[in-house]
Amino acid sequence: MNLALSNMGIVLTTLAVWVRQRSPKETFQPTWIHIPDTLALWPWPRAINPYYEECKAESDAWIQSFNVFNPKAQAAFKRCEFALLAALGYPELNREGCHVGCDLMNLFFVFDEKSDISNEQETRYQANCIMDALRNPSRPRPPDEWVGGVIAQQFWQNGIKTVTPLCQKRFISSFQEYADAVVQQSADRDKRHIHSIDSYFPLRRKTIGSVPSFALIEMQFNIPNHVMSNPAIQQLTDLCTDMISIGNDMYSYNAEQSRGDEGHNLVTIAMNELGLCLQEAFDWIGRYHDHVATEFLSLYKHLPSFPDESEEVNKEVHAYVYGLGNWGGRYFGKDGLRILKERKVKLLQKTCLDTMGIFKQTPSSGRPAERLAANPSIV
């Protein structure tokens, strides 16, 4: 175990001991949740890709052409601005790169929303469709296949026109790990299994989908594999992924708990393992995020150079790591400006997935939007 992760473990253990020495809390559901401002001191400036508007229009038209939403879900999808996430995550990419990033966010949405209401076997089938399409972008898809296969194929047919061969291999490998982890998430949900904090983070680093997203930062780079596998770069990738996961879990918890799908969420896990009430769990997670952020910034300042590599490779390494830091930015969807300012979210009432009336129940469709219809969601 590296020093940074060891230090995080010490902090985690200390906080856990402090909590367990306190008297047990009675179960209490507040009306409002206060969300810690985890980005208050984050040094990366907020930047947006200049091609955002045109790429958004093209990517949104593409994903909606598959016609798997009913009108209510279409309206919810339009409010969620997935293309904006790509434009914020990839502010330096050219027009082609920005378009690929927008399409990737839509592909994530397809798989995430379908797998959220699927069992392990169904999610494995969806994952296999996507991975076969990514590995075989020219092979015709079976006519009766789940729609996610052709969406993934069309995404990658466009992507390989821009992405370098080295990056292509790393993207496929990381997307396979992500897909496998989503299957595991479905298996955990089937069994109603709640992870410990220690077992959750390694899985969450994959289910969050950040590593394949990070691969597109380097879509036009040629960084050798042995450089990308350097322990410092890998640690920075893990720390950045943890920050994104923590933020995502805090922001998505409300919608997830409202539909009874909050098991794969750090808020639930912290309450379960540390005996915290809901607000205390948010506060604990906020402090833990601050520790992770401090570790990232410290390591970023001491990023190693690679004297055996060219000046161009070293520049690309710095650009990649800078891109990791840039991924810290997020924004809320509905009522976003108010939530960012006030840091408060009203706790939603629980609803039943089967009665939402949003998801089209057809063999080739695949994306409910109940999470999006009653936010706040985070992008």
Q: Higher pLDDT residue, 24 or 117?
A: 117
Residue among 258, 260, 284 nearest 271 (CA): 284
Q: Residue 348 gets which letter from DSSP?
A: P
Report the mean per-residue pLDDT for the chain. Answer: 83
Percent of the chain with pLDDT over 90: 64
In the predicted model, what is the mean pLDDT of residues 124-137? Answer: 98
Mapping DSSP onto H, E and C, the string for 157-220 reads: HHHCCCCCHHHHHHHHHHHHHHHHHHHHHHHHHHHCCCCCHHHHHHHHHHHCCHHHHHHHHHCC
**Amino acid at residue number 260:** G
Spatial separation of the C-alpha atoms in residues 344 and 350, rounded to whole Å: 18
User: By the 8 A CB rule, do 219 and 162 touch?
Assistant: yes
- pLDDT tens readout for residues 188-232: 999 999 999 999 999 999 999 999 999 999 999 999 999 999 999
Q: What letters, b where the CB count within 10 A reaches 16 and e where it falls short, cover 171-190?
A: beebbbebbbbbbbbbebbe
Distances in Å between the Cα of 118 and the Cα atoms of 69, 70, 127 are: 17, 19, 12
User: By the 8 A CB rule, do 247 and 340 touch?
Assistant: no
Angle, in degrees to the nearest 10, between helices 231-258 and 278-301: 160
User: By the 8 A CB rule, do 339 and 226 touch?
Assistant: no
**Residue 338, pLDDT score:** 56
**Residue 258, pLDDT score:** 86
- Whether residue 71 is predicted with pLDDT greater than 60 in this model: the reply is yes
Six-digit token pair at 254?
């409300």
Spatial separation of the C-alpha atoms in residues 338 and 176, rounded to whole Å: 37
Distances in Å between the Cα of 67 and the Cα atoms of 64, 131, 151, 173, 227 are: 6, 22, 12, 30, 43
- pLDDT tens readout for residues 331-363: 444 445 556 667 788 888 776 543 333 233 223
In the predicted model, what is the mean pLDDT of residues 23-38? Answer: 69
Range in 69-78, 81-90, 352-361 with the lowest mean pLDDT? 352-361
How sure is the predictor about 133, in pLDDT bands with cuts at 50, 70 and 90? very high
User: By the 8 A CB rule, do 156 and 141 touch?
Assistant: no
- What residues contact residue 176 under an 8 Å CB cut-off, 6+ apart? 131
**Residue 40, pLDDT score:** 80
C-alpha angle 214/217/220, rounded to 5°? Answer: 135
Cβ count within 10 A of residue 159: 24
Strand partners, 344: 34
CATH topology of domain 27-352+369-373: Farnesyl Diphosphate Synthase (1.10.600)
> For tokens 């020219």, what's the residue?
138
Considering Cα of 294, then 300, then 304, then 306, what sign does the dihedral take?
positive
Please, what's the largest Cα pairwise distance for the chain? 61
The ranges assigned to domains in the chain are: 27-352+369-373
